[in-house]
């Protein structure tokens, strides 16, 4: 071990609500078409929670699956980080609710908010904490019920988002495996491009704020699009540079699933072939912090990721924020 600790993913899990909402369903509620949504975004359908399901419900199931996958009991977890922009309540944190639900009695718990880059922020923090020896087994969860904050009368936003949760257990792994590098960043100057204006201390909830529809996602899609294409390439290059690798070393790229045109443009810029890129956007839409987490769980369970693969994760979102990571993959449970 060389005196250094290495951290990596030792188990993953995910949870998607059963209810499917197709593009055709949206044709009935806003002025849109299946064709527009597919060609402009790459999305065909997304999962939507029912009225009784909150973010912690999805996060809890994803967490239990990740624990099972890692062959750990809840008591062995010493920290839970939930990345979300759709917490159950203002406080307590969704992480504390998950801690109670799964019985992780020995875990500290907190939420972090970095929008769609949230899971990558969580992974970066967990990696540092395990390497430092401060915590041994950390659950990082990206969980969202975006359907609860989407304005179903705004065609610019409502067709894009979906609900879901993904979880990963981060722990010490043998040298040469796991997280090789992470990179996170932010530019608060452009926060207004993607926001839910009301419900916080700037515009507290009121009859007026509800009437003005200020509790829903507001997005300048075009500007976010431009930022996304630039940052996806930059963040991937930077994180590879940090661990002494180059674009040529990428075996697999797992990008944040926001728009197929953003992914295509980034892939073109990075000059990697499309068969090295995981896309589940057409089935789930953009699930913010859950997107990358669910994609890791799917690629892992399907055996798409092979032992020794160099995997690059990259995401961006409201804040504005971005994050990336390089993993040296090894099949779960075989360390």
* Residue span binding ligand UT7 (CB under 6 A) among the ranges 128-136, 171-179, 183-191, 217-225: 217-225
Size of the site for ligand UT7 (CB under 6 A): 20
Spatial distance between the Cα atoms of 134 and 79, rounded to a whole number of angstroms: 10
DSSP SS3 for 143: strand
Report in angstroms how near the CB of residue 121 gets to ligand UT7 at its nearest.
Answer: 14
DSSP SS3 for 63: helix
Exactly one of 256, 259, 274, 280 is catalytic; name it.
256
Give the footprint of ligand UT7 on residues 146-175 (CB under 6 A).
155-156, 159-160
Report in angstroms how near the CB of residue 288 gets to ligand UT7 at its nearest.
Answer: 6
Spatial distance between the Cα atoms of 57 and 94, rounded to a whole number of angstroms: 10
b/e per residue, 274-284, with b = 16+ CB within 10 A?
eebbbbbbebb
Spatial distance between the Cα atoms of 209 and 95, rounded to a whole number of angstroms: 28
Instruction: State both tokens at 238.
Output: 């930077």
Which residues have CB under 8 Å from 296's CB, separation 6+? 9, 12, 166, 168, 254, 313
Interaxial angle between packed helices 221-242 and 260-270, expressed in degrees from 0 to 180 and rounded to the nearest 10: 40
Spatial distance between the Cα atoms of 53 and 279, rounded to a whole number of angstroms: 26
* Residue span binding ligand UT7 (CB under 6 A) among the ranges 44-52, 66-74, 79-87, 220-228: 220-228
Task: Establish whether 280 is a catalytic residue.
Answer: no
| Contact (Cβ atoms closer than 8 angstroms) between residue 40 and residue 64 | no
Exactly one of 23, 69, 259, 286 is catalytic; name it.
286
Q: Which of 5, 25, 128, 225 is the binder for ligand UT7 (CB under 6 A)?
A: 225
Exactly one of 69, 116, 158, 259 is catalytic; name it.
116
Report in angstroms how near the CB of residue 317 gets to ligand UT7 at its nearest.
Answer: 5
Upstream peptide bond of 320 is cis (omega within 30 degrees of 0): yes
Interaction between residue 116 and ligand UT7 (CB under 6 A)? yes
Give the footprint of ligand UT7 on residues 300-319 (CB under 6 A).
317
Other C-beta atoms lying within 10 Å of the C-beta of residue 128: 14
Instruction: State both tokens at 139.
Output: 């659950």
Report in angstroms how near the CB of residue 28 gets to ligand UT7 at its nearest.
Answer: 13
Give the footprint of ligand UT7 on residues 180-199 (CB under 6 A).
194
Nearer to ligand UT7, 36 or 110 (CB): 36
Give the footprint of ligand UT7 on residues 49-108 (CB under 6 A).
none
Q: Which of 6, 14, 23, 41 is the binder for ligand UT7 (CB under 6 A)?
A: 41
Task: Establish whether 15 is a catalytic residue.
Answer: no
Task: Establish whether 259 is a catalytic residue.
Answer: no
- Spatial CA neighbour of 229 closest among 255, 197, 193, 192: 255
Spatial distance between the Cα atoms of 259 and 41, rounded to a whole number of angstroms: 5
Q: Which of 222, 268, 271, 306 is the binder for ligand UT7 (CB under 6 A)?
A: 222
- Contact set with ligand UT7 (CB under 6 A): 32, 36-37, 40-41, 116, 155-156, 159-160, 194, 221-222, 224-225, 228, 258-259, 286, 317
The set of catalytic residues is: 116, 256, 286
């Amino acid at each position: 071990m060389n005196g250094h600790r290495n951290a990596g993913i030792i188990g993953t899990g995910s949870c998607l609500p059963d209810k499917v909402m197709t593009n055709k369903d949206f044709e009935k509620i806003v002025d849109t078409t299946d064709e527009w949504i597919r060609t402009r975004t790459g999305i065909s359908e997304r999962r939507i929670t029912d009225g009784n399901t909150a973010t912690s419900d999805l996060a809890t199931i994803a967490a239990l699956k990740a624990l099972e996958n890692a062959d750990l009991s809840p008591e062995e977890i010493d920290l839970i980080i939930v990345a979300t922009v759709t917490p159950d309540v203002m406080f307590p944190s969704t992480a504390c609710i998950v801690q109670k639900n799964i019985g992780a009695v020995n875990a500290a718990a907190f939420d972090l908010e970095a929008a769609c880059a949230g899971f990558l922020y969580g992974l970066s923090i967990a990696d540092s904490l395990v390497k430092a020896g401060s915590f041994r087994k950390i659950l990082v969860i990206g969980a969202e019920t975006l359907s609860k904050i989407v304005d179903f009368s705004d065609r610019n936003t409502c067709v894009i988002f979906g609900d879901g949760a993904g979880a990963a257990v981060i722990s010490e792994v043998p040298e040469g495996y796991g997280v090789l590098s992470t990179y996170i960043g932010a530019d608060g100057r452009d926060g207004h491009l993607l926001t839910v204006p009301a419900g916080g201390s700037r515009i507290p909830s009121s009859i007026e704020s509800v009437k003005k529809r200020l509790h829903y996602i507001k997005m300048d899609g075009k500007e976010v699009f431009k930022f996304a294409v630039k940052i996806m390439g930059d963040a991937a290059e930077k994180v590879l540079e940090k661990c002494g690798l180059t674009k040529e070393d990428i075996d697999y790229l797992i990008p944040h699933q926001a728009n197929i045109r953003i992914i295509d443009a980034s892939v073109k810029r990075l000059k990697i072939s499309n068969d090295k890129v995981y896309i589940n956007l057409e089935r789930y839409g953009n699930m913010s912090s859950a997107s990358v987490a669910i994609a890791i769980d799917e690629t892992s369970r399907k055996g798409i990721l092979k032992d020794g693969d160099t995997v690059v994760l990259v995401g961006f979102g409201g804040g504005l924020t971005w994050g990336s990571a390089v993993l040296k993959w090894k099949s779960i449970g075989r360390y």
